[in-house]
Structure 1
C-alpha cells in the first residue's frame, strides 16, 4: 500500500484493518504492526534501536574566532536568505544561516557568531588613554612600547625617556610650548650645592601605528600629550585622538569585506 501523508491518514488505515493483521507504513519513515483481534497497534519502526532518524531541521550555534573562518562557514552552509548582522558596539558579526525570506517564515536555528578580539597593542594604549602617571611610570611605558611609535623617531623617543628618568628629583616650575610644538618642562635642581635650572622637552603628540583587531592591518593613530604640575611634581599621560572613530571605521571595513567575500547582505544591528 502507499504510505499515508499524515498521522490522521495512518489512524484511518489502522481502523480499516482492525480485524486483520497487517504492516502499515506511516509518515516520517514510521512503521506499525496491526494485529487482530482487538486491533492491537505496535510501532515496529526500529525495534532494536539501530536506525537514528535525522532531525527535522538544523539546530546549530557556533562561535568562530577569525573572519576567515566565518566566511568559510557561511560559504559552506549559506542559503539564498542567509544574512550577516554586524553589531558595531560589540565588534561582533552574526551569520543567520536559515534566516527568513520576504513573507516566508523560518525557524532561524542555525547561527554562526564571532567577536573580533582587540590586538594587544590596541588594548595597551587604550588602557592608559586619559590616565595620568608619574614621570617615571610614563617614561617606562614609552620605552616598553616604543615599537608602536613612528613619530618622533626611536632615537628621539629614547632620549625623552632617559631625560624623564634622570630628572626625577628636580622641582618642576612651569611648562613652555616650544617653536617645534613640544612641551618644555622647566625645572630647578636643588639637590646639589649649587642650584641648577634646565628643562625636559617632551613631544606634544605621538604618532602610533597599531592594529585595532588581532591579526588586522595597522592604522595610524595620534596620542596627544597631557600633563599636570602638582606642586613641583610632574604628571604625564596621553589622550588618544578619535580612537573610537578609528575603531568603527576599521570594523565597518572588515564587515564590508566579509559580506563581499561570502556574497551575503550585511545589516548593521542585532537580530532578536
Structure 2
C-alpha cells in the first residue's frame, strides 16, 4: 500500500513539474513511471539547414539532367546508364576512393517516348481498313519523308476515294511500287475497273524521346486482298534498334559534357 502511495506522489510531481527548454542538437533522457523516455533533437527538422543533401530528382531530358548535375556534383560523383530501363542515374554523393559517403543524393534521367513514336509503334504490323489507314497518313504528314508529304497526301486521298471498291489483285512494279486492281461497287460506278498505285516502302522521321534528335525509319507497306475491301498497314524496320541508338546518343551527349565516365549498369 505504501508503494502505491509513493508512486502516486511521484506521478503527481512529474505532472506538476515546470516545462524545461531543451537545446536542439542533443539527446535527452528522462525517467518516467514506465522507464526512461528519450528525446532526440539531433534531426534536420531542428536545424536551420539540413546536414546533407538527400533524395532523388527525376528529369526527362538531357538539358535538365546536365543543368542539375553541374549544380550538385563533385569530383567523386558517379553516373550510370541502363539501356534496358532507358535511364541515366547520377549518384552525386558517391563514395570516394578512401571514404564511404551516404550515396543518398541522386539525379535520374528517365526518358519518355514522344506521342508520335507511340502512335506509329501502336499500329506497327497491324492491318487497317482503307479509310483508317488514309486518315492515319493524313494525321502524320509531318513525319512522312519519302515519298514527300504532299505525295503521301495524294495517295491517302486516292485510297479514301476507292473505299467502296473490291480489290482483286496486287502486282509489284519495276519502280518498287505496288499496283492494286479494283472494281467499283458504288451504284454510280458499279463494275468500273481501276488501279491504285502505292509505294512498297516509305520513310518516316521520328523523334523517339522528348528533347532528343530525330531518326529515319523505313516502313514496309502491307496489304491484304480477299476479293473485298482492301486492308492496309505497315511494318517498321527494327524500331527497337533505332530506340537503342537514340539512347546511346543521349548517353554520349551526356558523356561529352561531364568530367566522369558514364558507367554501364545501375548503382547500388
| Alignment TM class, shorter chain as reference | 0.7 to 0.9
Partners of 1:212 and 1:56 in 2: how far apart?
40
- Native 8 Å contact 2:25 2:46 kept in 1: no
Assess, with a 3 A threshold, how the Cα gap between structure 1 residues 230 and 271 changes in structure 2: closer, same or farther. farther
Match of 1:164 in 2: 159
Residue 71 (structure 1) shift = 1.0
Q: Point out where structure 2 has 5 or more consecutive residues left out of the alignment.
A: 1-23, 29-38
The Cα of 1:55 is off from its aligned counterpart by 4.3
Paired position in structure 2 for 1:93:
88
1:250 aligns with 2:246: yes
CA distance in 1, matches of 2:73, 2:161: 62
- Structure 1: gaps (5+ residues): 1-27, 33-42
Q: Which residue of 2 aligns with 1:221?
A: 217
Report the equivalent of 1:67: 62
Does residue 57 in structure 1 map to residue 44 in structure 2?
Answer: no
* Contact kept? 2:212, 2:250, Cα under 8 Å: no
Following TM superposition, by how much is the alpha carbon of 1:160 offset from its aligned partner in structure 2, in angstroms? 1.0
SS in 1 for 2:168: strand
What TM-score do you get using the length of structure 2 for normalisation? 0.77
Aligned with residue 127 of structure 1, among 114, 122, 126: 122
For 2:190 and 2:245, the matched residues in 1 are separated by 56
Question: Is the 8 Å Cα contact of residues 84 and 259 (structure 1) preserved in structure 2?
Answer: no
Tell me whether 1:137 sits opposite 2:132 in the alignment. Answer: yes
Query: Do the aligned partners of 2:60 and 2:210 also contact (CA within 8 Å) in 1?
Result: no
* Deviation for aligned residue 1:93: 1.2
Match of 1:118 in 2: 113
Report the CA distance between 1:144 and its aligned residue: 1.3
CA distance in 1, matches of 2:76, 2:190: 81
Tell me by how many angstroms 1:235 deviates: 0.9
SS of residue in 1 equivalent to 2:225: strand
Shift in CA distance, 194/211, structure 1 to aligned 2, threshold 3 Å: closer
Whole-Å Cα distance in 1 between the matches of residues 258 and 50 of structure 2? Answer: 27
Contact 2:62-2:211 at 8 Å conserved across structures? no
**Equivalent position of 1:152 in the other structure:** 147
Distance 1:53 1:159, change over 3 A: closer
Q: Using structure 1 for the length normalisation, give the TM-score.
A: 0.76
Q: Distance in 1 between matches of 2:124 and 2:190?
A: 39
Counterpart CA distance in 2 for 1:174 and 1:87 is 48
Q: Secondary structure of the equivalent of 2:84? A: coil
Candidates 104, 113, 131, aligned match of 1:109: 104
Deviates more, 1:251-260 or 1:100-109: 100-109
Give deviations 1:107-163, integer Å, cap 9, x for gaps.
Answer: 211101121122222222112111111111001111111121111123321221111
| 1:29 positional shift | 6.9
Q: Does 1:202 align with 2:198?
A: yes
Alignment size in residue pairs: 231
Map of 1:35 onto structure 2 = none
Superposed, 1:20-39 pairs within 5 Å as none
